[in-house]
Structure formats: structure tokens, C-alpha cells
Amino acid sequence: MKRVEVIVLAILSISFVGALSIEAVHTDVYNAINENALVIYRQSLINNYNSDRSNENTMIEDTGGCHMKSTFRIVAATLLLGILTGCHTPSRDQIAESAKTMIAAQETSSSVYDIHFGYQKDLGKWLTEEKEYLYDPDGDASDGITIFNTIGMIHVGERLYFPISKQTTLSTGDNFYAYVSTKTGEKHYICPDPLCGHDEESGCPYINFDVLAFSTDSDSKIYGVRKNIVAGTAVLQDRIYEIDLSENTLRQIYDSKDICKDFDVDYITMYFIIEDTLYFTDHFLFYEEVEGERIVTERTWLLGLNLTTKETTVLNDHFDENLERFHVIGDRIFYTDLAERTVYCTDFAFADKTPVLQYPEGYQLSIDQYDSNTGELYMLVTNNELHRSAVYPENPNAIKCTLYCVDSDLQCKEVPMPSDQLIDFQLTNEYIYYRKYDPINFRTPPYERNAIDVFGNKLYRVKRSDTMTPEVAFDGHEELFFQDYFVTGDYLYFAYYALVIREEGQVFRRMGATARVNMKENTIKWLNLD
């Protein structure tokens, strides 16, 4: 029976391709496709693994992911059903008639949302479903705010980029970037193919980018780092790709093997772009077996990649690994020396450096953001102990976190806040949003492992003109857990983390979906990879 099934599937596939090769049919299908069209075909099995098959449960599903229109979905469904039932190509009149018939039925059909993200229907019952995106041009916004060193949500101009993934079980699958317009609220994918599944199985070339950087001259050009396995080896290497959203192209522009030939693992950190050159470090690991023990040698190179010629120049092949968090602000570069626990400011030639902030031992510079409207750089100095999700600090009351503000004259001052245990913060034009250390333990006996929400599942805010008067901006009610978040206007975006039970106890698991909450209207919309 399995062999028969394979043969049948092969015949169906060939028949479908053959139908599309007919010019009249191909033209109709092609003309029906637009940037807002997508089709997903699913056939359900009866009684699980029963050998019988039926078209009764065949569904053409609106995934909601690319703001789809009905036309191509209906045309493709008609073609497929025609092949399944009669192994012939439907005429144009048949396609049109079937489209009219199926328009009414599409609203009652199941969707990928129901199948893969059904759990979301039971979340946030105190919120209502978003019916309309409300943009207030005169309200609060994040225009001119730059959030550095983010690996989650990235705000660039009028776009918010964020990773999402297909949710089939408890695993998140392959990371894939989408973006929303903060003016319209519309979601778009960086992959231009409307028929792509955006996962490993579909062969999507736009998945699994670890970090993104953005061109200073074009809103459409993005630079991403993705790890690859060298064919026939166990070598893991990073490569840099250029994504052009206007041209719908993706191409590799840097291969670490062109710089260093014999490493075993490397990882890239992109810093900034100055005068059409991308500055980044490539950190190489070399493994060597010595008397049965593996010896690891490390080496970091500072490199410059010309984004016009795509040529790479080695600037320093023994780069100081204690230097990190490089940011370009105007004609200055800010960076951190980890050994000295000091933030410095220097010029592009690194000819002169000025200390801006020094923090105590046991602490780190965790978050820094720049407001181009005021010329102010905000930095949060915190302690790693407060971020640990499974262990309480030995003496949390002794840990004090401090928010600093550096003005355009490099004068640094402490910003008074309602809590001295801030975990993170985000600037908007009018507010400082933040989370504070307020742990909730979700450990379930008899399991020993703790699952601690260190943020207390709440987001607070204060006005930048009055930083000592707090209010709760959003309460997740110990249900809508989140790590990465971004606020613009009345909207809060966050990556949802579920509290799931595993053999060793309860843990927080990123579920591959992003939620958008209007904190004023109390509405929610899920932004999934459908």
C-alpha cells in the first residue's frame, strides 16, 4: 500500500506540473499571484494511520501571514481538486465558477493558526482581538531612538524587525525574520517568495540568521550572519549575506574561509558601518589533540568589508577581545573595555579616547540606547545575578542597578528611578519603559528545578520628565510571559514564552510567535509565521 501511495503522489505531482505548463492555465495562475497571495494545501488522514484516504477533510487554508487575498488560493485549490478527481485541467470558466463557490466557504475553514498556534486562543482573555491598527502621528513614538546590541527585535526607521518561526510542537523550528510597519501595522516577510514555507524543509535561503545589521544609506539593504557547516567536514563557520529588499535578492558577501583556512569554529560580531565599510570581528577557534586532550586556541581578527566592492581587509589579526559594544554616534565611536570596566568615547581614527563611565566589579553594561532627538545616550549598569532564570541571587538586596544618561558634552549623570533593581529599559520619546527584579517561582513539586520569572511578568513606565512616578504599562497576569519586547506609541510587541512542563520540571520556552498589544485599547494581535 505504501508503494501505491508513493506512485499516486508522483502521478499527482506530475499532473499538477503538467497542468501549469499549459499556457492558458499558467497565465491565469500567474496573473492571480500578487505580493499578497499565498497557498497552503493540507490533506488530513482518516483515523490517524488508516490506509484509506479521502478528500473530505482537504483544506485550503488562509494562513494570514502575508495579508493574502483569495484569488490564487482558490485557483490553486481548483487545480488541485481537479487533478485529484479527474486528472484533467480545469477550464477558465471552471476556475471562475469554483472561485465564486469557494469564497463563502473560506471563512469557515480551519487555518494554520488553529493547528499550529491554537494555544493562543486561550491566552490573554482579558484582552480583545485587534480589529484595526491605530496609528497616532501626534502620540508617543520611538522615532529617533536607537537600541544597540539587540539580537531580538530591531527598530529601524518605520520598521520593526523580529524573528518568528513555525510552531508545530514545543520546538520553535527555524528562525525567520519578519517586519511590521509602525505606521500601518502591516506584517511583511524578508523572503520575497509568496509560496515559500520559510523553513528548512522548503529550502528557504532567508532562515536562521543570527543577527542583522542595516545599511546607513538604504532602508532596503540588510546584512545578516548565518552559521554554516563546511561540506564534508565538522567545521562550523559564519558567513555574511546581503539582503536587498527592493531587489528581492540574497547573496553571500563574506566567507571566513577566505581569511583563515584551518579553523574549526568561528563566530562573527558586526559592529557598525562607516563610509560604506562594515566593521566586524571574526573570532576563530582552533582545536588540537595533545596526548589525548583537546587544546583550544583562540584568535580574533578585526575586519573591514567594503560594501561596494565586497572586498575584505584585515585591520588587526590580534584584536583585543576585551573591547566590545562599539557604537557610532555622529562623528564619535563609543565602546566598552571589559578589563577596565570603562566606557570610552573616541574618534573614527581611535586617536584619542575619553572615559565616559566606569562601573564596579561584578557589574556589566547591559543595555544602551541613543536618542538622536536630544543627543542623549542612556546606559544601564546591572548585575548578571538578577538575570538568571533558575537560581535566586545569594543577596539580592545588596545588588543595585543604575541607569545613566550621557549628554552631547559627554557629561554623565545618574537617572533616578523608582527601583534600583532595573533588569532592562526602553526609551520612547516621552517615556522610559522598564522591568524590575520581582521574581515569581513556578517550581512544581516534586520537581527540584526552579522556573523563575525574574521580571514579575510586568512592564512599568515613567515619564522622562518625571522619572520617579511609576505606573504599570502592561501586566501579563502570569500568563503572557515575554523576554524581548519593544514599545512604540500605544503598542507593545513581545516574543511569547510559554511555561511548559518537562521531565525535570517547568521551563520557559520561546514559542516562535510575536504578540502586539495595544496597551490603551486592551487589544491583542498575534504575528505568527503562518
Cα–Cα distance, 359 to 13 (Å, whole number): 64
- Beta strand 523-527 with 128-129: parallel, antiparallel or unpaired? parallel
Contacts of 388 (CB under 8 A, 6+ apart): 452, 454
Average model confidence (pLDDT) across the chain: 80
CA atoms within 13 A on the CB side of 121: 8
Q: Which residues of the chain have pLDDT under 70?
A: 1-115, 167-174, 389, 444, 446-448
Q: Which pLDDT belongs to residue 529?
A: 84
Determine the pLDDT at residue 389. Answer: 66
357 φ, ψ to 5°?
Answer: -155, 135
Cα-based distances in Å from 264 to 4, 208, 288, 476: 46, 20, 10, 43
Q: Can you state the angle between helices 23-32 and 92-106, rounded to 10 degrees?
A: 30
Domain boundaries, the chain: 2-110
pLDDT digits (tens, 9 = 90+) for 89-120: 444 444 445 444 444 433 333 344 455 788 89
Per DSSP, the three-state class of 397 is helix
* Cβ burial 144-159 (10 Å sphere, 16+ → b, else e): ebbbbebebbbbeeeb
Is the peptide bond between 446 and the residue preceding it cis, with omega within 30 degrees of 0? yes
**The pLDDT value given to residue 242:** 97
CA distance 271 to 423: 24
**For residue 104, what pLDDT is reported?**
40
Render pLDDT for 220-262 as a digit per residue (tens, 0 to 9). 999 999 988 887 787 889 999 999 999 999 999 999 998 998 8
| Angle, in degrees to the nearest 10, between helices 23-32 and 2-21 | 90
